[in-house]
């Protein structure tokens, strides 16, 4: 681990990483003392909010305030440090910070009340909680843990605050690009990988070819699985595989974890759930004027299905 001396050729053991994460605040602080020498400086308020980072009740809005609007960057940095991913995958610290900042800019592009960098930080934290509190992290490899945290952080990158249905019905550029299939989700992964084509943002620069490929396959599958249209199929597939004697498809299980984290706010405290629901409602109703403008345009000659029937489904509003 980061604090114990080891021979350079000796690889960090996964078991020891698990223990370090579970050891809590004491180890966390030791890490911070070393990592901060070359890494991200934590304001005292941020350190204070991270005392609860292993708890389901963690308040991501408090972190966002403490970090003056940088909850995603700090959450990523914190979890990459705690799972020792920077050492294991030789991730350059400045690249991780720049990548986190670039993600935050993309998440802020459309000023969404809900699908913004706080939601990304929240889902990243929730994925960590699910892995830690259920013990699933013991079942995952280090690369799979990296995939989980990375996929959670990028899963709504450059979300424009509308639904896939909106894109499809208004025949937007991205809908045309992705042939109406998981339009936004395809964009989130693609655009996040595009950032890493900049050398100084490439956090995956030191992964082997095989690691890079495996990570990419997992991340694509996980982020595409956050498309709500696949929700019932995902549940059905998992139910079915739990009844089988042969092992569970790991990528599918990981996808379900991310999907569950993405729609987890109804399972959080009332205060957090209420705040997220209000934000989601606001975002949802913001797209209505755009809709109406499109419908007026369409009624001048083109035939369209009224997309509002899908939008007004309260179930989808909660789960979007």
Scanning 30-38, 149-157, 186-194, 270-278 for contacts with Zn ion by CB under 5 A, the matching segment is: 149-157
Scanning 49-57, 74-82, 96-104, 261-269 for contacts with Zn ion by CB under 5 A, the matching segment is: 261-269
- Copy the structure tokens of residue 132: 């830690």
- Nearest CA-CA partner of 73 in 179, 172, 203: 203
Distance CA 256, CA 146 (A): 16
Contact pick of 142, 156, 214, 283 for Zn ion (by CB under 5 A): 156
Binding of Zn ion by 262 (CB under 5 A): yes
| Closest separation in Å from C-beta 262 to Zn ion | 4
Q: Pick the catalytic residue: 115, 155, 159, 265?
A: 115
Q: Which is nearer to Zn ion, 66 or 127 (CB)?
A: 127
| Closest separation in Å from C-beta 133 to Zn ion | 20
Active-site annotation holds for 265: no
| Closest separation in Å from C-beta 121 to Zn ion | 11
| Closest separation in Å from C-beta 78 to Zn ion | 20
Q: Which is nearer to Zn ion, 170 or 226 (CB)?
A: 226
Assign 253 to helix, strand or coil.
helix
Scanning 48-56, 215-223, 259-267, 274-282 for contacts with Zn ion by CB under 5 A, the matching segment is: 259-267
Beta-carbon contacts of residue 314 (< 8 Å; ≥ 6 apart): none
Q: x/- site string to Zn ion, residues 107 to 146, per CB under 5 A?
A: ----------------------------------------
Q: Which is nearer to Zn ion, 17 or 184 (CB)?
A: 184
Question: Helices (DSSP H) in 170-269: which residue ranges?
Answer: 173-177, 183-195, 209-224, 231-242, 250-262
| Closest separation in Å from C-beta 162 to Zn ion | 14
Binding of Zn ion by 283 (CB under 5 A): no
Distance CA 69, CA 91 (A): 24
- Copy the structure tokens of residue 90: 């030789």
Task: Output the 3-class SS for 21-85.
Answer: HHCCHHHHHHHHHHHCCCCCCCCHHHHHHHHHCCCCCCCHHHHHHHCCCCHHHHHHHHHHHHCCH
| Count of residues interacting with Zn ion (CB under 5 A) | 2
Distance CA 91, CA 1 (A): 15
Q: Which is nearer to Zn ion, 90 or 109 (CB)?
A: 109
Q: Are 51 and 65 in contact (CB under 8 A)?
A: no
Binding of Zn ion by 214 (CB under 5 A): no
Q: Which is nearer to Zn ion, 158 or 262 (CB)?
A: 262
Q: Which is nearer to Zn ion, 54 or 262 (CB)?
A: 262
| Closest separation in Å from C-beta 261 to Zn ion | 9
- Copy the structure tokens of residue 7: 């021979």
Distance CA 249, CA 256 (A): 11
Q: Which is nearer to Zn ion, 95 or 226 (CB)?
A: 226
- Structure-derived torsion over alpha carbons of residues 169, 261, 136, 81, reported in degrees to the nearest 10: 110
| Closest separation in Å from C-beta 180 to Zn ion | 20
Site for Zn ion in 164-193 (CB under 5 A): none
Scanning 153-161, 196-204, 246-254, 273-281 for contacts with Zn ion by CB under 5 A, the matching segment is: 153-161
Based on the number of CB atoms within 10 Å of its own CB, is 14 exposed (0-12), middle (13-18) or buried (19 or more)?
middle
* Interface contacts to Zn ion, rule CB under 5 A: 156, 262
Catalytic residues, which ones?
Answer: 115
């Amino acid at each position: 681990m980061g604090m114990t001396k080891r021979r350079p050729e000796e690889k960090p053991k996964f078991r020891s990483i698990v223990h370090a994460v579970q050891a809590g605040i004491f180890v966390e602080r030791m890490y911070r003392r070393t990592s901060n020498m070359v890494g991200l400086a934590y304001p005292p308020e941020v350190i204070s909010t991270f005392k609860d980072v292993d708890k389901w009740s963690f308040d991501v809005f408090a972190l966002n305030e403490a970090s003056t609007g940088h909850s995603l960057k700090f959450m990523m940095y914190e979890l990459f440090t705690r799972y020792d991913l920077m050492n294991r995958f030789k991730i350059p610290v400045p690249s991780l910070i720049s990548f986190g900042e670039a993600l935050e800019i993309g998440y802020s592009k459309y000023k969404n009340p809900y699908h913004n960098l706080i939601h990304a930080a929240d889902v990243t934290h929730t994925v960590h909680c699910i892995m830690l509190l259920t013990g699933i992290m013991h079942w995952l490899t280090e690369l799979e843990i990296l995939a989980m945290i990375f996929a959670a952080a990028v899963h709504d990158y450059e979300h424009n605050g509308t639904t896939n249905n909106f894109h499809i019905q208004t025949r937007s550029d991205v809908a045309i690009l992705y042939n109406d299939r998981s339009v936004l989700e395809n964009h989130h992964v693609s655009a996040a990988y595009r950032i890493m084509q900049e050398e100084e943002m490439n956090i995956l620069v030191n992964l082997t070819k095989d690691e890079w490929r495996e990570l990419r396959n997992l991340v694509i599958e996980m982020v595409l699985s956050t498309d709500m249209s696949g929700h019932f199929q995902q549940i059905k597939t998992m139910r079915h595989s739990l009844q089988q004697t042969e092992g569970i498809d790991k990528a599918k299980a990981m996808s379900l974890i991310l999907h569950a984290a993405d729609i987890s706010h109804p399972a959080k405290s009332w205060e957090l759930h209420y705040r997220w629901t209000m934000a989601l409602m606001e975002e949802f109703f913001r797209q209505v004027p755009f809709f109406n403008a499109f419908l007026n345009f369409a009624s001048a000659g083109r035939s369209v299905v009224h997309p509002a029937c899908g939008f007004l489904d309260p179930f989808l509003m909660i789960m979007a």
